Structure 1
Amino acid sequence: MTSVLHTSQGPSPIPGSPDEKSLVGIETPLSSASLENTSGNELTWTEVEERAVVRKIDFFVLPLLFLGFYVFQLERGNISNALTDGFLKSVGITQDQFNTGQSLLYLGIILLEIPSNYMLQRVGPRIWISFQVLAFGLVGTLQAFQKGYGGYLATRIMLGVTECGYIPGALFIISTFYKRSELATRNSIFFIGNGLATATSGLLAYAILPMGTRYPQHKGWQWLMIVEGCMALFVAVLLLLFLPASPHTPTSLFLPIRLWSPRQEEILVARMVKDDEKNKRSSHQITIKDIIGTLSNWRIWPHVLIAICLISQTGALGTYGPSLIKGFNFDTLTANALSSVSGWIGLVTTASFGFFSDRTRIRGPVVITGLTLVWAFWVAFQQKSLSTDRWLKYGLQIMVQGFSIPSHPINATWLSLNCKSPQERSIAMALFIMAANSGALVGSQLLRGDDAPLYKRGFKVCLCLVSLGLLTSIIQHVQYRLSNRRLSRRKESQVESLEEQVEHVEWKYTI
């Protein structure tokens, strides 16, 4: 089968699933430099050629972004493992002071997410996120030497500032390389980087924390931060050397490496233009009007609320997960190792949900299913919180954590596919990441010292938040379906001239 990209003017529908957005309008000649050498009025390619192009994205671009997310999560999450190794006593802070520092980390991300996204557009996502990984790698390494409440607060907020733009920047790069029908799986794979960090952080802690005994010049938690900080610095070098900017600029920043042949570079751009005419441009500058327009789009905010509700309870359990397991009467190293199991469950569920969502082109029901499972496990976990069976409590806790992961990337994809322009998508994804960090900020305050060790109040709040997220996702799915019905009725009732039909733009919301 051969794909064709027409470069002549005239109305030509862009193919798409009924579950995806569809734009119909006037196509104009391609302005991309990568298509200038195309002879005639159209570029044709076979499915075999396109698969070869996509494979190179899958094996070079996506893994680099995946590794960046992996070390990103290690740097912000290794403090939960440090808690089991006497971190609070070593630094000289209380549990509530610890929660305040965690809140500052997320507050720094929230406040700087939009400015960071603006800078990302100005200097390019490749340069911006590569240097961000370098920056948070340095902060993550040096936080091993923090001391006192002031030093702890300073390192937390600096880590938040340096991490603030990585996720939306990476998601933006992914959206420029993959078609809409390919996004859910790739976004899920990207978010598996987060899950893999959760799955391996406990195992890394199990291996690194004993270094405090073998090399007593530093404590075990300090060695943990030094080693994992150096891992982030290594990934930053990989990004700087090998990450291509976009299909329009498919070369690395410093090395003259071309992953695709000239023919494949043409297909790389053309396949994206065929998927969405707005992908013709190699850059999409954001204006104040774009920001205001996105903020005033009420359909974005339910996705934001879902993210806040989901991540708040995930953040609470993520921060105190190893400590909770240790409280079930496990020793320090065993608790850290056992805490990794939820991450492995998350890897399987995230990959499965993402694959199913792309194959069926269903987004909302997948999010609803994931939240329903999380809600059910939370009910069971809360009811068994007073049980003396440590393995039962442990099993329910890791199921809550493992099934909390997959709905988040699908929700991100759901939001992305319902954005009407690259500018709106970029700003919306920044809002989405701000929402996730707002949820993490809320989660950092749910499990407090005066509620320990059973956290009855905190767990009830977590269950209420999941319930609100589930209800919001159901309402959002229903409103998209009703909106599409209204659009279909409006289209059927309109009687337009030929010229008006050419100018007409049809929008179909992804459900």
Structure 2
Amino acid sequence: MTSVPYSQHVPSDPPASLDEKSFVGDESSATPSPNNGSVISELTWTDAEERAVVRKIDFVVLPLLFFGFYVFQLERGNISNALTDGFLKSVGITQDQFNTGQALLYLGIILLEIPSNYMLQLVGPRIWISFQVLAFGLVGTLQAFQKGYGGYLATRIMLGVTECGYIPGALFIISTFYKRSELATRNAIFFIGNGLASATTGLLAYGILPLGARYPHLKGWQYLMIIEGCMAMFIAILLIMLLPASPHIPKPLILPIRLWTPRQEEILLARMVKDDEVNKKSNHRLAIKDITGTLSNWRVWPHVLIAICLISQTGALGTYGPTLIKGFNFDTLTANALSSVAGWIGLVTTASFGFFSDRTRIRGPVVVTGLALVWAFWVAFQQKSLSTDRWLKYGLQIMVQGFSIPSHPINATWLSLNCRSPQERSVAMALFIMAANSGALVGSQLLRGDDAPLYKRGFKVCLCLISLGFLVAILQHIQYRLSNRRIERRQQGQEESGEYVETVSKWRYTI
């Protein structure tokens, strides 16, 4: 596992000014300059120059990935809005058959997550994820014409196959452009794309579903899927034209433009190498030992279990959110509009948690706090599930959904910061997304037809799952703290005996 070093690399010569930073290396290990291929032996830059470089990442790379995640979630989640517009009857399936199709979507993602991550390393992240957005946009558009149980299953499995690598691929790109101290905020902003989709999908449905009555040759839910599928394909075109590959290859794939000046390209790469020496390499191909090494690292698995527990209950409420609100005695369009409020709450909580985590450099306690809030709202929601007060039940439901969002990206950052190499981080992120989709698969089966409309059994299972995730997060934080104490004691013992082990002295888990 990677850790945060006790001390950072110290330049051999002092910087020219108090706000100036240095990247110093010898010619044997230096990285070629991204603009002219010369060896960087020494590079200095000011805080103002670095801020200018980061601003361009924030306004080009991050928004492209953000909107890719936005349309990703629209394609996956618009079926929950379609349910309120007679989707089951139009296609000719039952609720339990619908749940089976949802499970197949997540199963496709789970089975192909690591192979997709291998392709990501093989062809490059910008090519692979751009292709994936184009592919799931096309599938999302064509699913408007599905008919029958077989057609429904086919479209769901194809959507899962085409979506399988986007999230880990995007997280990998983010980790190559941002320093470790910047990751939590940027990962949180990236996951806000998911929250924004949740916040606007109900509003989009409110505006698009009535097209079925105005132009009756298609159903409202069909217009919804066609329009949102075309949105995804448009974002894919932007990714192909504008997304740079990495600090080593900072130019877009298609357009002959430079996003950064030659000087800024040098700073873009040097600041990442200064943050972590493994960023010197431009090629981080996966080997079998990287996969087996990550799988055998037991500290990865608590993060995986937390993700499964958190996403399982989120997935259950996300899929049936508008339907549950409609069951509180709201009409179809109102239920879709009201369902978007949870997403807006999620936007605020995700941004706040991510900003706080980066400013304080605290990960574990932030995850624990988020899960504690979700657990408390679940207890209240489950207790009031039989209430006749529709606004009380609605308020508790959206609070559960809104506060379920922020812990997930912080957990991803927590795991990422404890990976020792880009390869291990890549496999760990694939496992993490597999875990999230495993949770969504579990969640797709929690609210069954024989438990409707109150879902007493389903809600109890959701509460048990979030309780388990809450407990595991506490234990994971404790074990990281104890591990750091053991490392400190070992280091002190080596210093007293005159020994020095570089790997031990630099080792420290992120907590």
Report the Cα distance in structure 2 between the residues aligned to 1:435 and 1:79, rounded to whole angstroms.
22
The secondary structure found in structure 1 opposite 2:256 is coil
Report the Cα distance in structure 2 between the residues aligned to 1:366 and 1:473, rounded to whole angstroms.
10
Residue 307 of structure 2 aligns with which residue?
A: 307
Deviation of the 1:257 alpha carbon: 1.2
Residue 455 of structure 1 aligns with which residue?
A: 455
Deviation of the 1:495 alpha carbon: 4.5
Contact 1:35/1:270, CA 8 A, preserved across alignment: no
The residue identity in structure 2 corresponding to 1:409 is P
The residue identity in structure 2 corresponding to 1:272 is M
Residue 390 of structure 1 aligns with which residue?
A: 390
Q: Which residue among 19, 22, 26 is the counterpart of 1:4? A: 22
Deviation of the 1:36 alpha carbon: 6.5
Contact 2:187/2:409, CA 8 A, preserved across alignment: yes
Report the Cα distance in structure 1 between the residues aligned to 2:194 and 2:415, rounded to whole angstroms.
19
Report the Cα distance in structure 1 between the residues aligned to 2:306 and 2:501, rounded to whole angstroms.
37
Report the Cα distance in structure 1 between the residues aligned to 2:490 and 2:499, rounded to whole angstroms.
18
**Equivalent residues in 2 for 1:48-59 (5 A)?**
48-59=48-59
Residue 112 of structure 2 aligns with which residue?
A: 112
Contact 2:241/2:255, CA 8 A, preserved across alignment: yes
The secondary structure found in structure 1 opposite 2:474 is helix
The secondary structure found in structure 2 opposite 1:270 is helix
Residue 470 of structure 1 aligns with which residue?
A: 470
State the percentage of identical aligned residues.
Answer: 83
Deviation of the 1:277 alpha carbon: 0.2
Query: What are the superposed Cα offsets for residues 42-96 of structure 1, whole Å, 9 maximum, x if unpaired?
Result: 1000000000000000000000000000000000000000000000000000000
Query: What are the superposed Cα offsets for residues 463-511 of structure 1, whole Å, 9 maximum, x if unpaired?
Result: 0000000000000000000000000000000149999556766210000
Report the Cα distance in structure 2 between the residues aligned to 1:503 and 1:297, rounded to whole angstroms.
17
Report the Cα distance in structure 1 between the residues aligned to 2:438 and 2:312, rounded to whole angstroms.
8
Residue 233 of structure 1 aligns with which residue?
A: 233
Deviation of the 1:7 alpha carbon: 1.1
Report the Cα distance in structure 2 between the residues aligned to 1:71 and 1:40, rounded to whole angstroms.
40
Report the Cα distance in structure 2 between the residues aligned to 1:36 and 1:254, rounded to whole angstroms.
20
Report the Cα distance in structure 2 between the residues aligned to 1:3 and 1:211, rounded to whole angstroms.
57
**Equivalent residues in 2 for 1:123-142 (5 A)?**
123-142=123-142
Report the Cα distance in structure 2 between the residues aligned to 1:333 and 1:361, rounded to whole angstroms.
43
Structure 1 stretches (4+) deviating beyond 3 angstroms?
35-41, 495-505
Residue 165 of structure 2 aligns with which residue?
A: 165
Contact 1:106/1:160, CA 8 A, preserved across alignment: yes
Residue 146 of structure 1 aligns with which residue?
A: 146
Contact 1:32/1:281, CA 8 A, preserved across alignment: no
The residue identity in structure 1 corresponding to 2:166 is Y
Contact 1:109/1:437, CA 8 A, preserved across alignment: yes
**Equivalent residues in 2 for 1:38-437 (5 A)?**
41-437=41-437
Contact 1:326/1:332, CA 8 A, preserved across alignment: yes
Deviation of the 1:111 alpha carbon: 0.1
The secondary structure found in structure 2 opposite 1:310 is helix
TM-score with structure 2 length normalisation? Answer: 0.95
Contact 1:202/1:338, CA 8 A, preserved across alignment: yes
Distance 1:417 1:40, change over 3 A: closer
TM-score with structure 1 length normalisation? Answer: 0.95
Contact 1:418/1:510, CA 8 A, preserved across alignment: yes
Q: Which runs of 5+ in 2 are unaligned?
A: 1-18
The residue identity in structure 2 corresponding to 1:141 is T
Report the Cα distance in structure 2 between the residues aligned to 1:223 and 1:43, rounded to whole angstroms.
55
The secondary structure found in structure 1 opposite 2:285 is coil
Deviation of the 1:33 alpha carbon: 3.3
The residue identity in structure 2 corresponding to 1:469 is G
Distance 1:40 1:208, change over 3 A: closer
Contact 2:494/2:500, CA 8 A, preserved across alignment: no
Deviation of the 1:283 alpha carbon: 1.5
Q: CA RMSD in A?
A: 1.5
Q: Which runs of 5+ in 1 are unaligned?
A: 10-27
Deviation of the 1:35 alpha carbon: 7.8
Contact 1:32/1:280, CA 8 A, preserved across alignment: no
Distance 1:71 1:473, change over 3 A: same
Contact 2:32/2:38, CA 8 A, preserved across alignment: no
Report the Cα distance in structure 1 between the residues aligned to 2:502 and 2:90, rounded to whole angstroms.
69
The residue identity in structure 2 corresponding to 1:366 is V
**Equivalent residues in 2 for 1:30-45 (5 A)?**
30-34=30-34, 41-45=41-45
The secondary structure found in structure 2 opposite 1:329 is coil
Report the Cα distance in structure 2 between the residues aligned to 1:263 and 1:290, rounded to whole angstroms.
34
Contact 1:380/1:396, CA 8 A, preserved across alignment: yes
Query: What are the superposed Cα offsets for residues 386-407 of structure 1, whole Å, 9 maximum, x if unpaired?
Result: 1100000000000000000000
Contact 2:241/2:253, CA 8 A, preserved across alignment: yes
Distance 1:443 1:209, change over 3 A: same
Contact 2:30/2:39, CA 8 A, preserved across alignment: no
Query: What are the superposed Cα offsets for residues 349-397 of structure 1, whole Å, 9 maximum, x if unpaired?
Result: 0000000000000000000000000000000000100110000000000
Report the Cα distance in structure 2 between the residues aligned to 1:216 and 1:504, rounded to whole angstroms.
69
The secondary structure found in structure 2 opposite 1:33 is coil
Deviation of the 1:196 alpha carbon: 0.2
Report the Cα distance in structure 2 between the residues aligned to 1:58 and 1:367, rounded to whole angstroms.
24
The secondary structure found in structure 1 opposite 2:34 is helix
Report the Cα distance in structure 2 between the residues aligned to 1:233 and 1:35, rounded to whole angstroms.
32
